Amino acid sequence: MSDELVVLRGGVRNGESTTVQDGVRRLLAASDAPGLVEVYEANGETAPVGGNPDEALVFIHVGQEPAGDLAPELQHSPRSGS
């Protein structure tokens, strides 16, 4: 399975980019709020990301959810975009 570049819009991860497996349309990211994860969903748009020849899929912030039993190592921590 290939990877896709995504850029996050809104929430505490606004402007950060990362890669996800092709077909992922919902992303849980580490939050600044203890016990919560940031929730991002693909909105069908694309946008340029500095230093990358291809446009990234846009994932928009749709809220936060309790981390619950989700192990910290399974929480996705995006890297900053350019």
Higher pLDDT, residue 8 or 70: 8
58 domain-assigned: yes
32 domain-assigned: yes
Number of folded domains that form the chain: 1
Q: What pLDDT, on the 0 to 100 scale, is given for residue 72?
A: 63
pTM for the full predicted model? 0.81
User: Could you tell me the two tokens for 26?
Assistant: 């919902």
30 domain-assigned: yes
41 domain-assigned: yes
Q: What is the pLDDT of residues 43-78, one digit of tens each?
A: 999 999 999 999 999 999 999 999 887 666 655 555
75 domain-assigned: no
16 domain-assigned: yes
Provide the domain limits for residue 50. 3-70
Q: What is the pLDDT of residues 13-35, one digit of tens each?
A: 999 999 999 999 999 988 888 88
40 domain-assigned: yes
Q: What pLDDT, on the 0 to 100 scale, is given for residue 68?
A: 81
79 domain-assigned: no
